[in-house]
């Protein structure tokens, strides 16, 4: 076992010099530990992968490198213009390194960029959605079956429902009584799982599966999109889920754990910007059925993540990190309020999809 300081160990692995060596946290990721490693000459991003969430980090890196290769070929043919997050090998030519049993990788640092935690304007939402749209369009001819399911059934609502019912039945931490209203609400919404399972004419695609605003980088100088990042959950899925997750994370003016439920709602201008931004790069490939299925995505994603927060609450907060006892329940109420507002605004939001 090594007891070298981490920075020195990482520098040795990835070929940086010890002169002027610095290791600092970067960004605001919730899953992995992400840092910037610098010597006098170069800077790279190093990431300790969360092996509780991703038990098979080799497959995760392999998935990301397959995508990286495909996007690089597109870029060579001028069919993809965003920057590509490339993995950097160790001096031994490996793309995953072991330090005291923990798994580390290095990525090219995209300088001159910034990430946002909260959407500031409709313009910004459109830029982000367009970046995820360009990413999806460039992958439309990538065989999604090549991707290993790093988290099986990630967006399988029927499976999430079964897991939830099991936790309600077991009530391991005696929280069912406190969440009765939310549980009853859930039981009334399970038709959504059937709607998703019965989708027709909507193809499985290589999806990003974590299309939050902080998973893309903006150019510091021009504020245009610079790169789509965080390919950890890229797996086969439906574009409706990537769209729905943008709606979930961009449309409400409140954070997902805000208790100001009055203000948890879908901002129409942001929704419209997302539709425009995402659909435009997909236009040559998307069918009308697939585009209309985005409505289901807008409903499913806030509901599904709310259901997952509730499941975790009933299970004793094992999956999502929580800062206080009722944190998951607060998130449940927030996400269900958003879901209800999506449903409430059905006609106006749907008309935006129909107008494309
Ligand atoms: P999440 O909570 O979204 O799952 P994560 O823990 O998987 O996040 P990343 O999204 O990969 O971590 O990285 C966290 C943050 O670090 C990003 O939001 C971004 O600000 C910054 N970052 C990551 N990779 C790069 C890069 N190659 N160049 C510049 N900044 C980066
Ligand atoms: Mg991220
Ligand atoms: Mg991530």
Q: Using one digit for the tens of pLDDT, what is the confidence trace for 143-163?
A: 999 999 999 999 999 999 999
pLDDT of residue 242: 98
Provide ipTM, 2 decimals.
0.98
Query: Does 114 fall in a domain?
Result: no
pLDDT of residue 265: 97
The DSSP H or E segment spanning 45 is strand 43-48
Query: Does 264 fall in a domain?
Result: yes
Total of domains in the chain:
2
- What would the pLDDT profile of 165-177 be if each residue is shown by its tens digit? 999 999 999 999 9
Query: Does 116 fall in a domain?
Result: no
* Domain-ending residue, one of 109, 136, 151: 109
- Measured CA to CA, the distance from residue 155 to residue 317 in angstroms comes to 20
Query: Does 104 fall in a domain?
Result: yes
The DSSP H or E segment spanning 226 is strand 225-228
* For range 12-20, the mean pLDDT: 96
Query: Does 206 fall in a domain?
Result: yes
Ligand closest in space to the Cα of 27: 1
pLDDT(4) > 70: no
Please indicate, yes or no, whether residues 172 and 315 belong to a single structural domain of this protein.
yes
Q: Is the separation of the CB atoms in 175 and 264 below 8 Å?
A: no
Please indicate, yes or no, whether residues 49 and 159 belong to a single structural domain of this protein.
no
Ligand closest in space to the Cα of 87: 1
pLDDT of residue 3: 53
pLDDT(30) > 90: no
Nearest atom in ligand 1 to the alpha carbon of residue 85 is: 27
Tell me the pLDDT band of 29, cut-offs 50, 70 and 90.
confident
pLDDT(264) > 90: yes
Domain carrying residue 37: 6-109
Q: Output the CA 216–ligand 3 centroid distance in Å.
A: 11
Please indicate, yes or no, whether residues 272 and 296 belong to a single structural domain of this protein.
yes
User: Average per-residue pLDDT in the chain?
Assistant: 96
Tell me the pLDDT band of 28, cut-offs 50, 70 and 90.
confident
Residue nearest to atom 10 of ligand 1 (CA): 230
Please indicate, yes or no, whether residues 18 and 104 belong to a single structural domain of this protein.
yes
Please indicate, yes or no, whether residues 73 and 134 belong to a single structural domain of this protein.
no
* Domain-ending residue, one of 83, 109, 135: 109
Query: Does 40 fall in a domain?
Result: yes
pLDDT(1) > 70: no
* For range 129-148, the mean pLDDT: 97
- Measured CA to CA, the distance from residue 223 to residue 225 in angstroms comes to 7
Residue nearest to atom 5 of ligand 1 (CA): 29
Q: For residue 24, give the CATH number of its domain.
A: 3.30.200.20
Task: List helix spans (H) across 156-258.
Answer: 157-170, 180-187, 191-197, 239-250
Length of the chain as a residue count: 356
pLDDT(218) > 80: yes
Residue to substitute in 116, 230, 232, 320 for testing ligand 1 pocket (most ligand atoms within 8 angstroms of CB): 230
């Amino acid at each position: 076992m090594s007891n070298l300081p981490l920075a020195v160990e990482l520098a040795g692995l990835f070929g940086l010099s010890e002169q002027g060596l610095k290791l600092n946290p970067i960004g605001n990721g919730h899953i992995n530990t992400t840092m910037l490693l610098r010597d006098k000459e170069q800077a790279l991003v190093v990431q300790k992968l969360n092996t509780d969430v991703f038990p098979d980090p080799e497959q995760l890196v392999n998935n990301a490198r397959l995508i990286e290769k495909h996007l690089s070929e597109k870029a060579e043919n001028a069919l993809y213009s965003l920057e590509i997050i490339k993995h950097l090998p160790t001096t031994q030519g490996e793309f995953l390194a072991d330090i005291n049993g923990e798994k580390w990788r290095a990525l090219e640092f995209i300088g001159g960029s910034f990430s946002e935690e909260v959407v500031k304007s409709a313009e910004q939402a459109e830029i982000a959605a367009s970046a995820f749209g360009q990413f999806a369009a460039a992958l439309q001819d990538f065989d999604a079956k090549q991707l290993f399911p790093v988290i099986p059934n990630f967006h399988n609502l029927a499976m999430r429902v079964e897991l939830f019912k099991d936790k309600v039945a077991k009530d391991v931490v005696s929280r069912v009584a406190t969440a009765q209203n939310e549980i009853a609400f859930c039981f009334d919404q399970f038709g959504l799982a059937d709607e998703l399972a019965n989708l027709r004419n909507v193809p499985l695609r290589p999806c990003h599966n974590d299309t939050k605003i902080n998973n893309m980088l903006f150019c510091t100088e021009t504020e245009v999109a610079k790169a789509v990042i965080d390919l950890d959950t890229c797996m086969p899925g439906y574009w409706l889920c990537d769209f729905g997750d943008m709606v979930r994370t961009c449309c409400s003016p409140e954070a997902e754990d805000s208790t100001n439920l009055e203000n948890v709602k879908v901002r129409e201008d942001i929704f419209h910007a997302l539709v425009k931004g995402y659909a435009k790069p997909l236009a040559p490939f998307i069918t009308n059925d697939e585009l209309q299925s985005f409505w289901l995505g807008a409903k499913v994603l806030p509901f599904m993540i709310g259901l997952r927060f509730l499941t975790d609450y009933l299970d004793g907060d094992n999956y999502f990190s929580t800062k206080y006892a009722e944190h998951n329940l607060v998130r449940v109420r927030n996400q269900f309020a958003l879901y209800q507002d999506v449903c409430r605004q059905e006609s106006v939001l749907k008309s935006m999809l129909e107008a494309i």
